[in-house]
Structure 1
Amino acid sequence: MKTTQLYLFRPKFNAACWLGLAWLLLAFGTACSTVPLPKTPTQTSASTSSFQSDIPKLTADHLHLDYWLQKTANAEQTLLSLAEIKRFNQHLINILPEVIDVFAEPESYLAAAVRKMIVDLSHASTNPRFNQAGELLTTEHWQQFEQRLALENLSAQVGARFALVTSRGNLRTFPTQDAVFSSATDQQLDRFQETAVFPGEALQVLHYSQDRQWAFVRHYHYHGWLATAHFALAEKSVVQQFVEAKDFVLITGARAATNVTPEMPLASVVQLEMGVKLPRVRQHQMVIHGQNASFSYVVQLPNRQPDGSLELVSALIARNQDVAERYLPLTKANILAQAFKFLGERYGWGHDLNARDCSGFIGEVFRSFGLVLPRNTGSQGLESFGAVRSLAEASLAEKQQSLQLAQAGDLIFMPGHVMLVLGQESGETFVIHDVAGLHYFKADGSFYDSRLNGVSITPLSPLQRNPQQSYIDGIYLLKSLSREFYAD
């Protein structure tokens, strides 16, 4: 090892010279110790070297939004104006029976029409179903569920009542919290779970269960049984004015919450999901529920009174929350950014587990821009809206070639599942999606069967739906919600 030798000089240095030399050496040594060494090609950052995943082709870089934005052409270009989005929404209302304008629906229904809506949803499954004890549901079990529907209480003419959702609640197949599963041993997916509704959304209330603890409601893209604790009744005009307010606060994070307010528990830490919008209160007292309002947004919050009627109260949403005062511009950059806000969230079939599933994830992302989508993948994947490229009859090679046309923010459909395109890398299409299983063939030919159970980033080509069919084999449609025609 080479060393540096220090020599004692004999010239006549006075004390001041020696002191100056000492300071020079000290400064030089300190400066040298703080200069970072340049990275060699073999060095990696701690985050990259420690990254572990069982997902083929996934790297730490793929988990960063900026990585994909750098690959996205015209990322900041507005794809649809608010006027075009409004026309898009009206087109869906016109062509899809499950997507409705609650305020344009009849205010009175024949009993037969309401009965059909209920029975079409709430009926015994033709497939085996099991309760939480692992018992196979029998005819007697199904009859007990059906008794709760109280269909005999339907009057000849059913008057619709209007309501606002006051807290996140689940729409159920039957008016019960009882969970039902496809397997006696696998209890991951509750088959009575349909979807969820969020604060501030409008409902039509058509019928009550036998115990009157549940109501059959119509929602902008679904209907089902909702516990009455989650909504408050009001005149149609009051509900409509609330929902159609032009001055509002929009939740743009995966979720936000109202401020803690011990003085009013029902307005305290109310969970608000992406896409929820609440009317803005501009004129207000400076102290609301014991807190100065200068550093929060003041909004109207629907509150359920003991008699089930609506009370609108002022609530605070702190300015550190991820919110906006208008719909976000529909750009590729914003689509990816909104999707990334859910990355890692647990998968929840039908919005179960206080989460969401694949189509719920897509729906919430696009609600940030004011777009209204159908609830389920089957309807989201219809060819009657958006720019589409049908691949149902395409060969594997044709599907692989078509995937190279997919752009950031496009949707890819296979039966029962929808994915959002992040971009292309070395001929591989990467997607972000809310997904349960992880399946692929390992290098040794064995089949890997595991779980993702959350919002995940994956490549397409290695993944399998099952040992017999790959993801790409199952793709039947590519869709863009913002283009007039899909690229040729």
Structure 2
Amino acid sequence: MSRLESPASTPPRVTTRSSGARTRAIALAVMGATASLGACATPSTLAVSPSGVPAFSEDMLSPGFWIRRAPSPDAVLLDADQVAAKRLRAFEPDGGLMDLKRLPATLTRAQVAGWVGEAQRTPIPATIDEQGRPVTEAMLDELRQNAAAGHIPEASAARYGLSVRRTHLRSLPSDRRFFASEDLRDYESLQAGILFPGEPVVIAHQSADQQWLFVVTTQGPAWVKRGDIAEGTADAVFSYVAKAPGRVVTGDQVRTVFTPEAPEVSELELDMGVALPLANVAPGEPVNGASSYASWPVLLPVRGQDGTLAFMSALLRRTADSAPGYLPLTRANILRQAFKFLGERYGWGHQFNARDCSGLTSEVYRAMGLVLPPNSGMQGKSAALNHRLFTAQDSHAERVRALEHAQVGDLVVVPGHVLMIIGHLDGEPYVIQDVPYAVFKDPATQQLRKTKLNQVSVTPLLPLYADDTTLYVDAMTSLVHVTQP
């Protein structure tokens, strides 16, 4: 299973890891005459903003603007049982995620070697290194040698662990950074995703230098730093994962309380949707040198000096953006959660302490208990979600009608990119998306105009271009109705 695909940006094109979909330029075109901005303006009267975004006014940057326009914004779209059922379906065949409990207790050489090879496939060519020097085949071979594929035993017992901090997944066991070109440094070749604190892994292999573990995650196989994984029994790992969420992170990112007495759990970064069980702490009982009365005591995995799994209490301030469980799945909550990322820098594979397009959509829904596959291609076809698939046989008019009826929270998937519907103005859909560029036809000159956004942005959807000649709507492969049972 792949975790990443080609980014939605501008040429040069790169090959995708699993779907074969080519990278497309995200191009926004605006029609109609320009006019003054205002709360009642419509897409046909809005000018290109001074920041270079078409059909846009400043009030669109508030979630309240869209909540007021949403039908029944506080109606619960899926109840807790329906959400739980969808969460389970994501781990079924074609759901997009791997159920680690179903992996065999004994791993074969062929199986592990296959995973190692799968992990090495990256959509970003390794052309230059961090200093801008050409990447040679000898440099890559050195990293492949560290993967030690030739030393995988004929059979080995599956080992289990939990991630103890926010840590990157890598295609090869290395921190070295490679890029496709000098002007594409936002996309790093070996970056393969992220693990958040408390995520389970199956440990299948280790690097030659013993600094990296090769693991299978719910997202698929990858390399991770050994020091970021605590190894324990299958029962200890999966029992922790199964605990009821005591606090769910609902902010874009919060941190545990600083504590020098327990550096393992001090100021840990917790991204949106991370669910932590409550620690068994008596009222007022100190935790790591501080009283717990003004904070939530939570339980986190830690790694002992010998690499083994243990658990430790930590404090999460009551003022931190968190909830006592998953948020109700409502249109208002979808919008509030999505807008908490507004303006955040684009982070390919969760680089830059941020997230990319599919990271944005998955974390918004994870705060409400739904788990989405980690890349846009799988989000567009996961058997756990309801979707309308589009092929070349679907006419432009049919596609436009589908978008006219799209609901808040629906996902629009094109090759290499996913966007979230936030509402309609004058019948035209608007989206929130984590996107590098907006390229659109300037209404004044009728020439293509490129605006670097490189952040979570609010933009119109119609009419969009996937390249110089193809409308974005005609490139759409799936319209995902996440909130339908």
**Normalising by structure 2, what TM-score?**
0.86
Moved more, 148-157 or 98-107: 98-107
C-alpha displacement at 1:318, in angstroms?
Answer: 0.6
Provide the C-alpha distance between the structure 2 equivalents of 1:336 and 1:132, rounded to a whole number of angstroms: 38
Contact 2:90/2:97 (8 A) holds in 1: yes
Provide the C-alpha distance between the structure 2 equivalents of 1:470 and 1:44, rounded to a whole number of angstroms: 28
Q: 1:104 to 1:441 in 2, by over 3 A?
A: same
3-state SS of paired residue (2:293): helix
> Which of 199, 206, 209 does residue 208 from structure 1 map onto?
206
Alignment of 1:173-212 (within 5 A): 173-212=171-210
Q: Which amino acid aligns with 2:276?
A: L
Moved more, 302-311 or 341-350: 302-311
Alignment of 1:429-448 (within 5 A): 429-442=429-442, 443-448=444-449
Q: Which runs of 5+ in 1 are unaligned?
A: 1-41, 46-50
3-state SS of paired residue (1:398): helix
Contact 2:273/2:364 (8 A) holds in 1: yes
C-alpha displacement at 1:399, in angstroms?
Answer: 2.1
* Residue in 2 that maps onto 1:482: 483
Q: Which runs of 5+ in 2 are unaligned?
A: 1-35, 40-48
* Residue in 2 that maps onto 1:229: 227
Provide the C-alpha distance between the structure 1 equivalents of 2:330 and 2:311, rounded to a whole number of angstroms: 34
* Residue in 1 that maps onto 2:110: 112
Q: 1:481 to 1:98 in 2, by over 3 A?
A: closer
Q: Which amino acid aligns with 1:458?
A: T
Aligned residues between the structures: 438
Contact 1:430/1:459 (8 A) holds in 2: yes
Q: Which amino acid aligns with 1:478?
A: L
Contact 1:163/1:234 (8 A) holds in 2: yes
1:1-60 deviations in Å (ceiling 9; x for gaps): xxxxxxxxxxxxxxxxxxxxxxxxxxxxxxxxxxxxxxxxx9999xxxxx8431011111
C-alpha displacement at 1:339, in angstroms?
Answer: 0.7
C-alpha displacement at 1:390, in angstroms?
Answer: 2.5
Q: Which amino acid aligns with 2:158?
A: A
Q: Which amino acid aligns with 1:171?
A: L
**Normalising by structure 1, what TM-score?**
0.85
C-alpha displacement at 1:273, in angstroms?
Answer: 0.7
* Residue in 2 that maps onto 1:357: 356
Contact 1:134/1:185 (8 A) holds in 2: no
Q: 1:128 to 1:141 in 2, by over 3 A?
A: same
* Residue in 1 that maps onto 2:218: 220
Is 1:315 equivalent to 2:314 in the alignment? yes
3-state SS of paired residue (1:360): helix
C-alpha displacement at 1:400, in angstroms?
Answer: 2.1
Q: Percent identity?
A: 33
1:79-134 deviations in Å (ceiling 9; x for gaps): 22222222223323222275122223222211110100111222588956322233
Q: Which amino acid aligns with 1:299?
A: V
C-alpha displacement at 1:186, in angstroms?
Answer: 2.9
Q: Which amino acid aligns with 2:458?
A: I
* Residue in 2 that maps onto 1:6: none
Provide the C-alpha distance between the structure 2 equivalents of 1:166 and 1:132, rounded to a whole number of angstroms: 28
Q: 1:93 to 1:342 in 2, by over 3 A?
A: same
Provide the C-alpha distance between the structure 1 equivalents of 2:287 and 2:194, rounded to a whole number of angstroms: 30
Higher helix share: 1
Provide the C-alpha distance between the structure 2 equivalents of 1:418 and 1:251, rounded to a whole number of angstroms: 23
Alignment of 1:290-305 (within 5 A): 290-305=289-304
Q: Which amino acid aligns with 1:255?
A: Q
Answer 1 or 2: higher relative contact order, Cα 8 Å, separation at least 6. Answer: 2
Q: Which amino acid aligns with 1:411?
A: L
Q: Which amino acid aligns with 2:364?
A: V
C-alpha displacement at 1:141, in angstroms?
Answer: 2.3
Provide the C-alpha distance between the structure 1 equivalents of 2:170 and 2:399, rounded to a whole number of angstroms: 37
* Residue in 1 that maps onto 2:13: none
> Which of 251, 260, 263 does residue 262 from structure 1 map onto?
260
Q: Which amino acid aligns with 2:467?
A: N
3-state SS of paired residue (1:291): coil
Provide the C-alpha distance between the structure 2 equivalents of 1:383 and 1:310, rounded to a whole number of angstroms: 33
Contact 1:257/1:269 (8 A) holds in 2: yes
Contact 1:166/1:303 (8 A) holds in 2: yes
* Residue in 1 that maps onto 2:98: 100
* Residue in 2 that maps onto 1:328: 327
Q: Which amino acid aligns with 1:408?
A: V
3-state SS of paired residue (1:352): helix
C-alpha displacement at 1:444, in angstroms?
Answer: 0.3
* Residue in 2 that maps onto 1:164: 162
Q: 1:452 to 1:123 in 2, by over 3 A?
A: closer
Contact 1:411/1:480 (8 A) holds in 2: yes
Q: Which has the larger radius of gyration?
A: 1
After superposition, the CA RMSD in angstroms is 2.2
